[in-house]
C-alpha cells in the first residue's frame, strides 16, 4: 500500500537489498570522545547564535534559546494592583498542570490529608505524558539494580545531573511501577508475571516497561480516572491556566491567579501550598524545529516560577528526539517511539547503509542523524568563518524538501517474528497506516524533532524550591536529567516527583499556620527591574497558546 512517491520507493529498494546483511551486523557505539565531537558539530544546543542570556531575575546571565528568553523576560498578564482581597476559592494544595506529574501530585496530596484544587490549561490529560509511547524505566529485574540505573542516568546526562535527584529517581522507580500497577495500569507482561522489558538509548540493562506503545496514554488515563474518583477532595478546573503565582508578605507561597481561557476572566485561588507541574516548551519551536509536544507546551511554569523568584537551571539544553516523522508532511515532527529501535530497527541512509549505533543516548543519536543528512559543507550564514563541520549528504529528501533517514521497521519482524509490530507498536501502525504506509513492510522516514526540556526550575529531592510552599514536579523542573534525558525516564520522573511533590505539599500545608497578606509585590519588582534594565520583549507571558493562525 505504498504511500511513498516513486523516488522514495527507489531508495527503499536499496534498504531492502541490504536488510538481510544488516540484521547480522551491529554498528559500533561511539566512544565518549566521539560523542563530544559529534555533539559540538551537529547538535542544535551547540549553535551559539540561537542562544541568548537573560538580563533580569535571580538567574540573570543564564543562557537559553532566544525564543525561550523572550518569553521568560516577558511582561505579566496582570498588573501588580490586581485585587487579591476576595479569593474565588481557598484550598490546602493548588496543583497547576493536568498532566502525569500534576495528577500524581494531586493523588498523593489528597492521600496525605489535603484538600486539592487542580487547574489545567486545556483538558485534564492534554499533556506530553499522554503522548509518551515507549515506556518507563525501573530497575526491577535480578540482572539490574538501582545503582546501575543511576550510572546510566548520569552518564546519559553528561555527568551534570544533581545526584540527590538521580537517587530519588532510581530508588523510587520500582515503587512507582508498583503504585501504577495497583491503580490498574496494564503493563506488558509474560504469562508468568515477568515484566516485558526492553533496552532504550543509553541503557545498560533492559528496564523499559511498556504498555504496548500507549505507555504514557495508559498511565495518564489511569491517573486521571483515579483523580476523578476522588472528586470530594480534588476539584479539577479545566481551561484555567495560571498566569501568575501569588506570594504572601513573608515571601511564602499564597496561591495563584488563574485565567478562564474561554472568557479571559482572572481569579485568585488562595492556597497554602502550590505544586507547579506545567510541563515543557516544545511549542516554542526552537531553531524552527517541529515538535512532538502537545498544543499547550509553552514554558508557562518556567515563567511563573522565575518571576516569583525561583532559580532556573539547565535550560541551555533541549532534547531533540532522534526520530520524529519526516514523511508524510501531515505528521512531520510527530514522535516515532524509540521502542522501534529498542526492538531492533536500524537507522539507515538513502543508500541502505547503517551509519550509527541505533541506541546511542538521544542527543548523540540525533546529532548523528543530522550529520548524515547535512550537506557536505555548511555555508556560513553571514559570510563569516565556517564554524561547524560539513555533513555527509546521505539523507532522503521528500517532495516538500524535508530531509530524513530510514528507520528500518520491517527488520523487527525478521528478528522477533511476524505479528510483533502489530502487537508492540499498534499506535505507530495506525499513525502511518492512515497515510497508506505499512510499517511492517516499509521503513519510516525520520528526522530529529524538538522533544523535551531538559532544564527548568531548580528543586530539591523533596520537590521544594527557594520559595517556601512552592513545589516542582516533572518536565518543568531541571536537574534530574542533567543535560540529556534517557528514554523512559520522563514517565518515571512525572510519577516519582509528582508523588513526592504531592506528599511535600500536603505536609507543608499542614504545618503552615496561616498565610500572610497575599501580594503581587514580586510582579511590581519584576516590572521595575525590567524597566531599569531596558528589557521589553513585547511579549505577554506565559504565552499560553502557540499561534498557528495564518497572517494575511
Partner 1 sequence: MATDKRILGGLMETENQPEVADADLIPVYVMGKRYMVPSSLTIMKAMEWAGYTLIRGVGCRGGFCGACGTAYRILGDPKLYFGLACQTVVQPGMYLAQIPFFPAQRASYDITQLEPTATTLFSTYPEVLRCLGCGACTKACPQDIDVRMYMAAGMKGDIATMADLSFDCIMCGLCAVRCPAEEAQYNIAILARRLYGRYLAPRSEHLRERLEEIEAGKFDAEIEKLKRFDKEELMAQYKARDIEPK
Task: Considering only residues 23 through 82, tell me which ones interact with partner 1, judged by CB under 8 A.
Answer: 32, 66-67, 70-71
Residue 52 Cβ, how far from partner 1 at the closest point, in Å? Answer: 9
**At CA 280, angle to CA 125 and CA 424, rounded to 5?**
60
C-alpha 249, offset from chain centre: 34
Show the binding pattern over residues 232-261: x = contacts partner 1 (CB under 8 A), - = does not. -------x---------------------x
| Spatial CB neighbours of 460, under 8 Å, sequence gap ≥ 6 | 164
> What CA–CA distance (Å, rounded) separates 487 from 470?
28
Instruction: Give the residue, chosen from 80, 155, 311, 393, that forms a contact with partner 1 under the rule CB under 8 A.
Output: 155
Instruction: Give the residue, chosen from 16, 111, 181, 441, that forms a contact with partner 1 under the rule CB under 8 A.
Output: 181
Residue number with CB closer to partner 1 (390 or 433): 433
Active site residue 321: yes
For position 340 contacting partner 1 by CB under 8 A, the verdict is no
Residue 535 Cβ, how far from partner 1 at the closest point, in Å? Answer: 10
Residue number with CB closer to partner 1 (48 or 547): 547
Residues 319-338 that bind partner 1 (CB under 8 A): 329-331, 334-335
Residue 218 Cβ, how far from partner 1 at the closest point, in Å? Answer: 8
For position 384 contacting partner 1 by CB under 8 A, the verdict is no
> What CA–CA distance (Å, rounded) separates 207 from 198?
6
Residues 435-494 that bind partner 1 (CB under 8 A): none
Residue 512 Cβ, how far from partner 1 at the closest point, in Å? Answer: 29
Are 471 and 465 within 8 A, CB to CB?
yes
Strand partners, 404: 396
> What CA–CA distance (Å, rounded) separates 40 from 43?
6
Helix-helix angle 32-42:362-373, to 10 degrees: 60
Residue 191 Cβ, how far from partner 1 at the closest point, in Å? Answer: 6
Instruction: Give the residue, chosen from 21, 430, 517, 528, that forms a contact with partner 1 under the rule CB under 8 A.
Output: 430
Residues 387-406 that bind partner 1 (CB under 8 A): 400
CA torsion angle 257 478 490 449 (round to 10): 90
| Residue 84 in grid coordinates | 487579591
Instruction: Give the residue, chosen from 23, 183, 237, 521, that forms a contact with partner 1 under the rule CB under 8 A.
Output: 183
Residue 438 Cβ, how far from partner 1 at the closest point, in Å? Answer: 14
| Residue 443 in grid coordinates | 521503513
Instruction: Give the residue, chosen from 199, 339, 481, 483, that forms a contact with partner 1 under the rule CB under 8 A.
Output: 199
> What CA–CA distance (Å, rounded) separates 240 from 466?
25
Active site residue 307: no
Span of 34-42, 100-108, 152-160, 491-499 interacting with partner 1 by CB under 8 A: 152-160
Span of 36-44, 117-125, 461-469, 494-502 interacting with partner 1 by CB under 8 A: 117-125
Span of 134-142, 436-444, 469-477, 488-496 interacting with partner 1 by CB under 8 A: 134-142
Backbone phi and psi for residue 338, each to the nearest 5 degrees, phi listed first: -60, -20
Are 405 and 373 within 8 A, CB to CB?
yes
Residue 21 Cβ, how far from partner 1 at the closest point, in Å? Answer: 18
For position 10 contacting partner 1 by CB under 8 A, the verdict is no
For position 374 contacting partner 1 by CB under 8 A, the verdict is no
Residue number with CB closer to partner 1 (112 or 145): 145
Residue number with CB closer to partner 1 (434 or 528): 434
Check whether the bond before 382 is cis (ω within 30° of 0).
no
> What CA–CA distance (Å, rounded) separates 94 from 301?
14
Residues 282-311 that bind partner 1 (CB under 8 A): 283-285, 288-292, 294-295
Residue number with CB closer to partner 1 (138 or 367): 138
> What CA–CA distance (Å, rounded) separates 328 from 314?
34
Instruction: Give the residue, chosen from 53, 79, 229, 351, that forms a contact with partner 1 under the rule CB under 8 A.
Output: 229
Span of 14-22, 139-147, 269-277, 310-318 interacting with partner 1 by CB under 8 A: 139-147
266-276 and 470-472 beta bridge pairing: parallel
Handedness of CA 4, 10, 11, 16 (dihedral sign): positive
Instruction: Give the residue, chosen from 4, 42, 150, 406, that forms a contact with partner 1 under the rule CB under 8 A.
Output: 150
Number of other residues whose CB lies within 10 A of the CB of residue 182? 8
CA torsion angle 244 77 298 290 (round to 10): -170
Are 80 and 521 within 8 A, CB to CB?
yes
| Catalytic annotation, pick one of 199, 341, 362, 503 | 341
**At CA 36, angle to CA 31 and CA 40, rounded to 5?**
150
| Residue 456 in grid coordinates | 527548568
For position 115 contacting partner 1 by CB under 8 A, the verdict is no
Active site residues: 321, 341
Amino acid at each position: 500500500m505504498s504511500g511513498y512517491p516513486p523516488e522514495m520507493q527507489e531508495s527503499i529498494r536499496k534498504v531492502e537489498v541490504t536488510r538481510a546483511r544488516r540484521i547480522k551486523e551491529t554498528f559500533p557505539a561511539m566512544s565518549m570522545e566521539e560523542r563530544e565531537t559529534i555533539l559540538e558539530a551537529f547538535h542544535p544546543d551547540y549553535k551559539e547564535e540561537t542562544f541568548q542570556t537573560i538580563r533580569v531575575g535571580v538567574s540573570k546571565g543564564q543562557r537559553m534559546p532566544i525564543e525561550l528568553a523572550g518569553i521568560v523576560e516577558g511582561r505579566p498578564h496582570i498588573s501588580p494592583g490586581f485585587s487579591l482581597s476576595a479569593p474565588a476559592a481557598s484550598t490546602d494544595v493548588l496543583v497547576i498542570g493536568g498532566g502525569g506529574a500534576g495528577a500524581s501530585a494531586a493523588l498523593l496530596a489528597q492521600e496525605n490529608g489535603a484538600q486539592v484544587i487542580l487547574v489545567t490549561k486545556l483538558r485534564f490529560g492534554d499533556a506530553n505524558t499522554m503522548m509518551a509511547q515507549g515506556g518507563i524505566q525501573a530497575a526491577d529485574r535480578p540482572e539490574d539494580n538501582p545503582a546501575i540505573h543511576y550510572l546510566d542516568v548520569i552518564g546519559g546526562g553528561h555527568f551534570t545531573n544533581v545526584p540527590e535527584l538521580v537517587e530519588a529517581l532510581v530508588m523510587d522507580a520500582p515503587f512507582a511501577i508498583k503504585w501504577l500497577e495497583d491503580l490498574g495500569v496494564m503493563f506488558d507482561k509474560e504469562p508468568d508475571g515477568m515484566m516485558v522489558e526492553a533496552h532504550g538509548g543509553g541503557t545498560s540493562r533492559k528496564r523499559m516497561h511498556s504498555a504496548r506503545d500507549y505507555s504514557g496514554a495508559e498511565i495518564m488515563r489511569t491517573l486521571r480516572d483515579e483523580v476523578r474518583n476522588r472528586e470530594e477532595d480534588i476539584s479539577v478546573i479545566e481551561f484555567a491556566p495560571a498566569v501568575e503565582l501569588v506570594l504572601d508578605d513573608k515571601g511564602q507561597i499564597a496561591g495563584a491567579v488563574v485565567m478562564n481561557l474561554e472568557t479571559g476572566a482572572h481569579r485568585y485561588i488562595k492556597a497554602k501550598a502550590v505544586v507547579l507541574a506545567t510541563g515543557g516548551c516544545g511549542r516554542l519551536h526552537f531553531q524552527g524545529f517541529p515538535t512532538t509536544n502537545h498544543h499547550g507546551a509553552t514554558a508557562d511554569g518556567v515563567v511563573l516560577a522565575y518571576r516569583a523568584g525561583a532559580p532556573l537551571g539547565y535550560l541551555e539544553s533541549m532534547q531533540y528526539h532522534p526520530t520524529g516523522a519526516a514523511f508524510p508532511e501531515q505528521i512531520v515532527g510527530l514522535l516515532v517511539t524509540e521502542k522501534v529501535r529498542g526492538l531492533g530497527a536500524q537507522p539507515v541512509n538513502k543508500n541502505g547503509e547503517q551509519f550509527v549505533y541505533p541506541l546511542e543516548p538521544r542527543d548523540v543519536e540525533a546529532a548523528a542523524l543530522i550529520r548524515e543528512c547535512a550537506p557536505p559543507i555548511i555555508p556560513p550564514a553571514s559570510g563569516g568563518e565556517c564554524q561547524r563541520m560539513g555533513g555527509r549528504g546521505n539523507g532522503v529528501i521528500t517532495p516538500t524538501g524535508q530531509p530524513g533517514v530510514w528507520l528500518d521497521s520491517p527488520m523487527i519482524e525478521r528478528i522477533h517474528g511476524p505479528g510483533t509490530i502489530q502487537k508492540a507498536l499498534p499506535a505507530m501502525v495506525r499513525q502511518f497506516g492512515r497515510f497508506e504506509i505499512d510499517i511492517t513492510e516499509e521503513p519510516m522516514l525520520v528526522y530529529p524533532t524538538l522533544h523535551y526540556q531538559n532544564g527548568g526550575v531548580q528543586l530539591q529531592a523533596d520537590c521544594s524550591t527557594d520559595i517556601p510552599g512552592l513545589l516542582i514536579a516533572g518536565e518543568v523542573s531541571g536537574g534530574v536529567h542533567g543535560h540529556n534525558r534517557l528514554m523512559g525516564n520522563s514517565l518515571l520522573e512525572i510519577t516519582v516527583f509528582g508523588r513526592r511533590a504531592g506528599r511535600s505539599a500536603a505536609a507543608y500545608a499542614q504545618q503552615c499556620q496561616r498565610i500572610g497578606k497575599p501580594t503581587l509585590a514580586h510582579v511590581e519588582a519584576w516590572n521595575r527591574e525590567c524597566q531599569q534594565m531596558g528589557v521589553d520583549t513585547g511579549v505577554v507571558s506565559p504565552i499560553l497558546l502557540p499561534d498557528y493562525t495564518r497572517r494575511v
